[in-house]
Amino acid sequence: MLTAEENERLTRVGPGTPMGNLMRRYWQPIAAMSQLEDRATRPIRLLGENLVLYKDRRGRLGLIGDQCPHRKVNMVYGIPEDEGLRCPYHGWLFNHEGRCLEQPYEKAEDPFEAFKDKVTTTAYPVQELGGLVFAYLGPEPAPLLPRWDLLVWDNVYRDIGMAVLPCNYLQIMENSVDPVHAEWLHGHFANYVWEQLGQTDRIRPIPAHQMIGFDEFEYGIIKRRILEGQTEDDVNWKLGHPLVFPNLLKVGGFQYRVPIDDYQTLHIWYYTYAPPAGTHVPENEPIPFYQVPVPELSEGGLPDWSYLDFTAGQDIVMWYTQGAIADRTSESLGRSDKGLILYRQQLMDNIAKVERGEDPMNVFRDPGENEYLRLPTEESEGTRRMGATGQLGRMASSAGAAGGATKFSPVLNRGDGATAVTAEEVLTGD
Ligand code: FES
Ligand SMILES: [Fe+2]
C-alpha cells in the first residue's frame, strides 16, 4: 500500500514532477520510422507535452512544439522543407533545433530580419535506432541512446506494434514483476476464454507457481519462478525476464511502456525474427508497423471474448481496468507482490538520485560501455528447451501467446517461415 503522496510521486510524469524528471533522463521511443514513410509529420504526446515529429525533405528528423510560436496553429499541418518544417499559416520556417530560419513577410519590411532570431520554438533531440525513433526531453548533455541487444542485432526481421492504452504507465510496469499473473491470466483465464469461444481443444493444464524470486541486476530487475514439476536447477529459476529500468520489459521481444501523460501510455511491441532457413534479411529491409487492438468492454459492460484470446489483450484489460491511475492507497499486496515493491523502491531511489543531481540507473555516457548492451533472459538458455516463444508461450499454449506479436505480427503472418527469435545462439546458426 502506498500513501496518496507516494502514489502521486510514482505516477505523475508532467514537466517538473519527480517522476517526470526521472523519465526525462531517458531516450523514449515515440514512433516507428515506417510511420514517417508516407507522412512527413506526426503528432506526438510525450510526458504530458504536445509535440510534432517531422522528417524534412533531406530526411532529417525533428521534434518541435506542436504550436507555432507566431499565432499558435498546429505544426502537424507544417510543410517539410529541405531543412526544417514550415508553418502553413504565414510560412515561418523552424529547424530541428527550434530556431526560426525564415519569416517571409517580416523580411519584406525588414531586410535585416532582426525579429527572426528572437523567435524560437520548443525542440528536442531525436535519434533512430533499430527502426524506432527515440526522443530525449531531459537536461543537456543528453546521454547516449542505449544499444539494447534486440535493437542492434544483424540479420533479423523486425516488426513494431503499438497501442495507446488508457492508463498510467506504472500499472503496466508492475505487471512485469508479477510472475503469478501468467499462471492465472494467461493460463486459467485464457482457458476460460477458449471455453467461451467454443475452442475447447485449446484448453491446457496450467502448472502452478511454487516459488517466485527477484534479483536486482545492473540494468534493473530479473524475475524468476519455479513451477510445479521444476527445481531450482530449471532455467526459469536461474534466469528470468529482465525488467530494464525504468520502462522496458524483455520477454522474448521488447515491450516499451512510454508515458504519454498521467493517464495514457504508448505500448510498443518490438520483435525480432530469424529469416527462413538458408536466406538472409535483405539490406535496408523496411520494418513493418502494426496496430495492436485495445480490447474494450462490449455493449452492456460485458467482456468481448474475441479480443481476449491473446496475451497482450488479456494483459491490457488487467492494466486499464485498475483505473486511469490505480488507487494504491487501498490495495492489499500479498507475497506475490514482492517484485512490485522492489520496483517501486528502485523508482523512488532513482528519483532521489536525480534530485541529488546524479545520473539515475541506465544512463550511459561512455560509448565503449554502450556498444552492445546484452540483456540475459531465460530464452538465452532456454530456447532450445522450450521453443522460441518461451515460458509464457508454453503456459498459454496458444498461437496468440508471445505478447501479442504472434497474432498480429506482419512478419509471422507473411507465412514464409520466419520464426520468432530471442537468443543470440539462434542467430549464429544461419
Ligand atoms: S501562425 Fe505560424 S507562421 Fe503564423
Ligand atoms: Fe501478462
Clarify whether residues 226 and 335 are in a common domain. yes
**Domain endpoint, select from 111, 135, 159:** 135
- Calpha distance 329→331 (Å, rounded): 6
Q: How confident is the model at residue 383 (pLDDT cuts 50, 70, 90)?
A: very low
Q: Give residues whose Cβ lies within 5 Å of ion ligand 2.
A: 315
Residues above pLDDT 90, as percent of the chain: 74
Q: Which of 125-134, 199-208, 234-243, 325-334 has the lowest mean pLDDT?
A: 234-243
Q: Quote the pLDDT of residue 58.
A: 98
Q: At 142, list the grid cell.
A: 543528453
Residue 382 pLDDT greater than 60, yes or no: no
CA–CA distances in Å: residue 236 to residues 51, 312, 375, 386, 427: 42, 21, 15, 10, 22
Question: Is residue 89 within 6 Å of ligand 1 at its C-beta?
Answer: yes
Strand partners, 215: 222
Q: How confident is the model at residue 381 (pLDDT cuts 50, 70, 90)?
A: very low
Non-local CB neighbours of 427 within 8 Å, separated by 6+ positions: 153, 154, 155, 156, 274, 421
CA dihedral in degrees (394, 400, 404, 408; nearest 10)? 140
Clarify whether residues 234 and 170 are in a common domain. yes
Q: What's the number of domains the chain is made of? A: 2
Decide which of 285 and 63 is more confident. Answer: 63
- pLDDT tens by residue, 226-282: 888 888 777 666 667 899 999 999 988 899 999 999 999 999 999 998 888 888 998
Does residue 19 form part of some domain? no
Q: Which of 240-249, 367-376, 398-407 has the lowest mean pLDDT?
A: 398-407
Distance (angstroms) between ligand 2 centre and the Cα of 179 equals 8
Nearest CA to ligand 1 atom 1: 71
User: Nearest CA to 59 among 121, 128, 159, 143?
Assistant: 128
Percent of the chain that is helix, strand, coil (3-state, to 5)? 30, 25, 45
- Calpha distance 99→18 (Å, rounded): 29
Distance (angstroms) between ligand 1 centre and the Cα of 73 equals 6
| Ligand 1 atom closest to 103 (CA) | 3
If you search the block for the grid coordinates 477458449, which residue do you land on?
Answer: 194
Clarify whether residues 83 and 174 are in a common domain. no
Q: Quote the pLDDT of residue 189.
A: 97
Q: What is the largest CA-CA distance in the chain?
A: 82
Q: At 11, list the grid cell.
A: 505516477
SS3 228: coil
| Ligand 1 atom closest to 71 (CA) | 1
| Ligand 1 atom closest to 72 (CA) | 1
Clarify whether residues 217 and 108 are in a common domain. no
Question: Is residue 87 within 6 Å of ligand 1 at its C-beta?
Answer: yes
Clarify whether residues 92 and 226 are in a common domain. no
Question: Is residue 71 within 6 Å of ligand 1 at its C-beta?
Answer: yes
Clarify whether residues 155 and 250 are in a common domain. yes
**Contact yes or no for 387/242 (Cβ under 8 A):** no
Does residue 312 form part of some domain? yes
Neighbours of 274 (CB within 10 A): 21
Distance (angstroms) between ligand 2 centre and the Cα of 301 equals 22
Decide which of 426 and 112 is more confident. Answer: 112
Distance (angstroms) between ligand 1 centre and the Cα of 103 equals 9
- Calpha distance 266→255 (Å, rounded): 10
**Domain endpoint, select from 104, 135, 166:** 135
Q: Which ligand is nearest to the CA of 317?
A: 2
- Calpha distance 293→73 (Å, rounded): 31
SS3 22: helix
**Strand duo 157-165 + 289-291: pairing:** parallel
Does residue 14 form part of some domain? no
Nearest CA to ligand 1 atom 3: 90
- Calpha distance 361→350 (Å, rounded): 7
Distance (angstroms) between ligand 2 centre and the Cα of 160 equals 18
DSSP for 21-72, please give it.
Answer: HHHTTS-EEEEEGGGGSS-SEEEEEETTEEEEEEE-TTS-EEEEESB-TTT-
Question: Is residue 90 within 6 Å of ligand 1 at its C-beta?
Answer: yes
Does residue 18 form part of some domain? no
Distance (angstroms) between ligand 1 centre and the Cα of 116 equals 12
Clarify whether residues 379 and 258 are in a common domain. yes
- Calpha distance 152→428 (Å, rounded): 14
Backbone φ, ψ for residue 334 (5° rounding): -115, -165
**Domain endpoint, select from 73, 104, 135:** 135
| Ligand 1 atom closest to 87 (CA) | 2
**Contact yes or no for 34/159 (Cβ under 8 A):** no
Q: Which ligand is nearest to the CA of 311?
A: 2
Radius of gyration of the chain (CA): 23
Clarify whether residues 412 and 300 are in a common domain. yes
Question: Is residue 68 within 6 Å of ligand 1 at its C-beta?
Answer: yes
- Calpha distance 245→397 (Å, rounded): 29
**Contact yes or no for 208/354 (Cβ under 8 A):** no
Domain ranges, residue 98: 28-135
- pLDDT tens by residue, 75-99: 999 999 999 999 999 999 999 999 9
Q: Which ligand is nearest to the CA of 252?
A: 2
Q: Which ligand is nearest to the CA of 86?
A: 1
Helix (H) or strand (E) holding 160: strand 157-165
Clarify whether residues 90 and 189 are in a common domain. no
Q: Which of 243-257, 312-326, 344-358, 396-410 has the lowest mean pLDDT?
A: 396-410
Does residue 3 form part of some domain? no
Does residue 16 form part of some domain? no
Does residue 243 form part of some domain? yes
Residue 74 pLDDT greater than 80, yes or no: yes
Clarify whether residues 413 and 289 are in a common domain. yes
Alpha-carbon dihedral sign for residues 139, 142, 147, 150: positive
Q: CATH number of the domain that 60 lies in?
A: 2.102.10.10
- Calpha distance 223→100 (Å, rounded): 49
Clarify whether residues 106 and 185 are in a common domain. no
Clarify whether residues 128 and 258 are in a common domain. no
Does residue 1 form part of some domain? no
Q: Which ligand is nearest to the CA of 176?
A: 2
